[in-house]
Amino acid sequence: MRSDLVSSLPLVLDPEQNLPIPAQLTTQIRALVAQRILSPGDHIPSTRSLAKQLGVSRGSVVTAYDQLAAEGYIVTTHGSGTTINPHLHLLKPKELEVSTPPAPQAPKHPSGPRTVSLDPGVPDTSTLIDSAWRASWRAASSNPPAQRPAQGLMDLRVEIAEHLRRMRGLITDPSRIIVTAGAREGLTLLLRTFNGAARIGVESPGYPSLRRVPQVLGYDIVDLPTDASGLVVENLPTDLDAVLVTPSHQYPYGGSLPADRRTELVTWAERANTLLIEDDFDSELRYVGMPLPPLTSLAAEHTVLLGTFSSVISPHISCGYLVAPPTLAPRLNELRSVLGQPVSAITQAAIANFLDTGALRRRTQRLRRVYRRRRATVQATFTNVDGAELRPISGGLHAVLICAQPADAVVSELNTRGIAVTALSKYWGGSSHAENGIVFGFGSHDDDTLEWALAEIADATSLK
């Protein structure tokens, strides 16, 4: 059989289906691969030919092919057309299983079983794939960078510096920026610069996935108390090598470290020669007042800023950055050159394009309006629920609800109703000091789904 013959694709588009045309195409082509109708190395029609065959715009087919190429299903070679990835047979069969397309939105009070995961911090990505997003990826894929510097593409580092200037009021040189695969990977890279044993102070409560990183690397963890405004600076231990702190949006309560306490913390760090690791997540998503400048603007020599695009783009993009002190940047660059750059050059180029066009700033402004509305829905739901006290939501994508009933019982009851929430005790180093409550996200689901889930939470937590 000749390998250059173009395979016919038995695709059928359903205009009544609640799924965009590019998503229908990608779903069906994945299915053809999983069913072995399409095999590795098979040639498939060009975007122009398939668009003509199906009677759709070429842009819809290009979007579908771009997605399949990003997932590794197809490859395009100049002069040879588009083929099913010849190396696809190396993947495990279960990795080729067909993902079920999302069903149409259910009514506000569905009669059948339903499962809703209210994971904290998950953003709404339903409007992400627009013309600006597609154009950024198309440009990056059409002209991929020839090199992938260990520190990250210069274009992206320049755009990150501009992003920080506009969004956080921070002036920084791109030479201090290192592209990472997210906050956890950035923290791991940073902690590897410590030689031998180290004592790392972490907020209690604090963000679980970051709290665990120092411990996994073998460092001693010291729990540091917090209050409604964030880290309690008084009486901090003087033998800490670093402190992981969230001054813009303490996790999970959401407090913002006030100016006087920030100054006190910076003064302590300089006196104790302790590195401050500033996790700046959710700083762009603030609903009350203006965000204060990051700590690194007060103490550039003693602060590392961890940033990510998870909340304003998607956690699945796996791209973030850190801003290092001038004295630490060379060591981090050396370590990165040994370990390698974990973010693909095409991904970096696409995000740089997305930032350069202003699309991310426009998207962030739109998301703020959406999240403000959903935050207001959360507040209205729990205004008069006997047995549930909603803590203030000054920013971010999650809420803390203090419960009169045992939190574990509430979590279990909601699980039986198809709703996943998290017990507040999960965020403490020692659960004996934890308040009795739950944490849930409100950013990722449409308004009807959110209203239904909130009504169930209110019913499960109320004292009847």
Lowest mean pLDDT among 110-119, 160-169, 222-231, 306-315: 110-119
Q: Which CATH number fits domain 21-96: 3.90.580.10, 1.25.50.20, 1.10.10.370, 1.10.10.10?
A: 1.10.10.10
pLDDT digits (tens, 9 = 90+) for 343-402: 999 999 999 999 999 999 999 889 989 999 999 999 999 999 999 999 999 888 999 999
Q: Is pLDDT larger for residue 15 or for residue 280?
A: 280
Better-scored residue on pLDDT, 3 or 18: 18
Residues 95-99, mean pLDDT to the nearest whole number: 44
Q: How confident is the model at residue 283 (pLDDT cuts 50, 70, 90)?
A: confident
CATH number of 116-122+361-461: 3.90.1150.10
The pLDDT of 236-250, averaged and rounded, is 91
CA separation for the pair 90, 199 (Å, rounded): 43
Contacts of 199 (CB under 8 A, 6+ apart): 219, 220, 222, 237, 239, 240, 241
Mean pLDDT of the chain: 87
**Per-residue pLDDT, 15:** 74
Please state, in angstroms and rounded to a whole number, the distance separating the CA atoms of residues 302 and 344.
Answer: 30
Q: Is the peptide bond before 252 cis (omega within 30 degrees of 0)?
A: yes
In angstroms, the CA 163 to CA 157 distance is 10
Per-residue pLDDT band at 430 (split at 50, 70, 90): low
What is the C-alpha to C-alpha distance for residues 296 and 304, in angstroms, rounded to an integer? Answer: 7
Q: How confident is the model at residue 305 (pLDDT cuts 50, 70, 90)?
A: very high
pLDDT score recorded for residue 106? 42
> How many whole angstroms separate alpha carbon 189 and alpha carbon 339?
9
pLDDT band at 13 (very low <50, low <70, confident <90, very high): confident
- The reply to whether domains 21-96 and 137-357 share a CATH topology is no
pLDDT at 46 over 80: yes
Helix segments in 326-388, DSSP class H: 329-339, 345-356, 359-381
Split at pLDDT 50, 70, 90, the class of 69 is confident
Amino acid letter for position 417? R
Instruction: Give the pairing of strands 437-441 and 398-403.
Output: antiparallel
Q: What is the DSSP letter of 161?
A: H
Domain ranges of the chain: 21-96, 116-122+361-461, 137-357
Say which CATH class 137-357 falls into: alpha beta
pLDDT surpasses 50 at 198 = yes
423 touches 413 (CB < 8 A): no
